[in-house]
Each structure stands twice: as structure tokens, then as C-alpha cells.
Homo-oligomer: A and B are copies of this chain.
Amino acid sequence: MADSALVFPAAEYRGRVAALQAGMEAAGLHALLLTTPPDVFYVTGFLTRFWESPARPWFVLVPAAGDPVAVIPSIGADLMGRGWIADIRSWDAPDPADDGVSLLAETLAALVPERGRVGLPMGLETHLRMPLADYDRVRTRLAPRAFVDATAVVQRVREIKSEAEIGKIRAACAVADRAFARLPGIAAPGRGLDAVFRAFQVALLEEGADWVSYVAGGAGPGGYGDVISPADDRPLATGDVLMIDTGAVRQGYFCDFDRNFAIGPAGDAARRAHGALYAATDAALAALRPGMRACDLHRVMAEALVARGVRPGGGRLGHGLGLSLTEWPSFTPRDTTELRAGMVLTLEPGVAIAPGRIMVHEENIVLREDGAELLSTRAPAELPEIPV
């Protein structure tokens, strides 16, 4: 075991906590309660795949001043102890009688005055990763302390990536770049989509992914039906358009982009759609500046698609990225989040080609003061063809 289990030096985490505490002060919060894998990883550096087990809750408390406190199952105390958090309190979970409730309540009670406020993320794109009945028990024990929404406090800090974080996301993108470059040797007519997905995951691992948290996609004649299905064993056929989308993870950071390939010569409609998606990405890359809102960028991409004579489709046109496969904001007509320098984003225009037939296209970028900087190696302007 290495002496430290941290991806970054402790100073990185201390800076994050200071930024959170500044936001907490502005929001009048005496403590922040965090429970999800990305929030816990962000503050503590605690990186594990053990979150895959839903058996145990994990709590990290950020006080108004001073270092965070980890209130966690004892099975994680060794790994947490190899990070930068000094105050680690643990219990033998899962305990049907008291699964950390008393320990969490006692810890919070000491950090938060009786008329004080505990913040936790309660808004869009969040959830509370602990049993609801236990959350109610903690609230009852801590009354009259108030539990209030702290989504904005967390998001305004987490959404601005440090250069160290941007470097990790760039490295994850490079893994996927290399794996996508091998796809012409992986996808072939007659090969089942399930075999293609397996071989692509192998390529991602061989190219340096620590693990592969997400692969999805589709294939069909001149387009595909959706973008979230697992693979079935239908063999690829000449005339298909194949799309593979991936979230490969390296040192806890994600990439999230896709690539399209024509199996054999590309049909006219698919080529036109790919050209429109490329043009919409061009438009977004040219227009992106700090100070725009998420809905402004949505309009840029949607108008570029319409100008090319195609109909936008496939859902939101991109989103944040970093410690999870998708982060806020969302490029939709309704998201007014301000885009700021340091945000890592995906540009993901989509086109509805025909009923049940779409194409989507995705790149990863970091927003700088003077505009977008690509983190993924850009897809070719022409839909690539896999020779048959």
C-alpha cells in the first residue's frame, strides 16, 4: 500500500474546503453534510469503487471553519486514514439498530449551534445517499437546528476545476482518444454489438483506464434509436451507423465523449447529419465565452443545426463533466447557469434523422477566459467509414 492514497497534494483539498467555507459563510451555514461519491471524493480525496455496494452510508462534514470530519463505516477507516483527513470517526456498519445515526448526530451537534443551519445538496441533479428514515432521525435529534439546501454552495465551487483537475480529465480523454483510434480494428460487419462493446472496454483498459464506468451506444441502418441502451448481439451490418459513448475513469476523473462510424460507405442522410453535428460543435467552440449562460450555448448549437437543415434531437446538448460522468449545468433552453472559466463541459449536439433514428456527437472542453480549449481530440469533419 502506498503511504498516501491521495491523487493530489493535501493543499489541493484544503483550497477546496476554504472555497466551500466561503460559500457556506455567505449562505449562513454552520456545517455542510456530504454523502455522495463525488462530493466525498472532492473534499477528502477518498477514492474507492466500494460505493458500488449500497449497504453503508458515508458522511463527510465540512464545518464553518477548520478541517472536515469523516463519519464513516470502519471498513473505510484504513483507506481514509491514508489521506489528509485527521478526524475520522467510524462505526461497524451495517448496524440495524443504529447505522451511524448517533455518531453523525453527536458530531453535528458539536459543530452546529442549536439555532444553526446544516446545509446539504437537495436540488437538481443531487440525491441524499443515506436511508431516508435515518435522515429523519438525525434531523429530529438535532432540532431545532435547520437542514437547508446547499446545492448552489457545492456546485459553484465544484464546477470550477483546478489546473490539476483539468490535467486528470485531459488524461482520461487521452485514454478514450487512443481506444477510439482502435475502433476500426474492433468493429466489423457481422460482429455483434456486445462483442464490440466488450472489445472497446478492453481497449480502454489497455490504454490506461483504471476502470470503465460507462459504455453505451447504438447501431442501426443510417442511425440509432437511443443512446443509453446496453449492447445486444445483433451483428453490425453494412450501412449501419455505429455510435459508442464512454466514461472511462483515470485517478477518479471521467471523460465523456462519443464517436460515430459508418460500417461501409456512409449514406447521404448520415453524412449530412454528421456534418451538421460537426458544424454545431464548430459554432459552440467559436461562441463559448465566460459570462454566457447554459441556455445561450444551447441556442447556439440548436440554431446551427437548424441552419444546416436538420432537427435537433437526443436530449440536452451537453453538460458538465469531471468527478462524475455528468455534472451540471445542462445545455437546455431552461438552464440559466452562468458559464465560467475553469468549467469542464461536454458539447453534445444531437440530430433527429427520422422517427426512431438519431445521431449524437460529443466533445470535451475546458472553458478558458478567451474561450473553449478541447480536451478530447476532435472527431473528423467527415463521418469515418470502416471498410467492409
Q: How many residues of A contact B (CB 8 A)?
A: 84
Bound together, the chains give a CA A99 to CA B127 distance in angstroms of: 13
Contact A133 B123 (CB under 8 A): yes
Contact A53 B124 (CB under 8 A): no
| A306 CB within 8 Å of chain B | no
| A55 CB within 8 Å of chain B | yes
Bound together, the chains give a CA A216 to CA B210 distance in angstroms of: 11
Bound together, the chains give a CA A92 to CA B335 distance in angstroms of: 12
Bound together, the chains give a CA A234 to CA B4 distance in angstroms of: 12
Report which of B1, B56, B324 forms a contact with A229, defined as CB distance below 8 A.
B1
Contact A1 B211 (CB under 8 A): no
Report which of B75, B126, B131, B247 forms a contact with A226, defined as CB distance below 8 A.
B75
Q: Which residues of B contact A194 (CB under 8 A)?
A: 210
Query: Which A113-139 residues sit within 8 Å CB-CB of chain B?
Result: 120, 122-133
- Contacts A94-B125, A126-B54, A220-B1 given; indicate if A210 touches B230 (C-beta within 8 A): yes
Contact with B along A209-238 (1 / 0, CB 8 A): 111111110101000111111111110000
CB distance from A295 to the nearest CB of B (A): 10
CB distance from A129 to the nearest CB of B (A): 5
| A2 CB within 8 Å of chain B | yes
Contact with B along A345-362 (1 / 0, CB 8 A): 000000000001000000
Bound together, the chains give a CA A129 to CA B95 distance in angstroms of: 22
What is the chain B residue whose CB lies nearest that of A73? B315
Contact with B along A321-349 (1 / 0, CB 8 A): 00011101010101110000000000000
Bound together, the chains give a CA A78 to CA B225 distance in angstroms of: 7
Contact B126 A132 (CB under 8 A): yes
Q: Which residues of B contact A218 (CB under 8 A)?
A: 1
Bound together, the chains give a CA A243 to CA B169 distance in angstroms of: 29
CB distance from A73 to the nearest CB of B (A): 8
Bound together, the chains give a CA A229 to CA B5 distance in angstroms of: 9
Number of copies: 2
| A107 CB within 8 Å of chain B | no
Contact A125 B78 (CB under 8 A): no
Q: Which residues of B contact A129 (CB under 8 A)?
A: 127
Contact B94 A124 (CB under 8 A): yes
Q: Which residues of B contact A97 (CB under 8 A)?
A: 334
Of A9-17, A44-52, A182-190, which stretch is located at the interface? A44-52
Q: Which residues of B contact A38 (CB under 8 A)?
A: 54
Q: Which residues of B contact A50 (CB under 8 A)?
A: 214, 216, 228
Bound together, the chains give a CA A335 to CA B99 distance in angstroms of: 12
| A267 CB within 8 Å of chain B | no
Contact B202 A206 (CB under 8 A): yes
| A201 CB within 8 Å of chain B | yes
Contact B210 A206 (CB under 8 A): no
Give the B-binding residues of A (Cβ under 8 A): 1-2, 5, 36, 38, 47-50, 52-57, 73-76, 78-79, 92, 94-97, 99, 120, 122-133, 149, 194, 197-198, 201-202, 205-206, 209-216, 218, 220, 224-234, 247, 314-316, 319, 324-326, 328, 330, 332, 334-336, 356
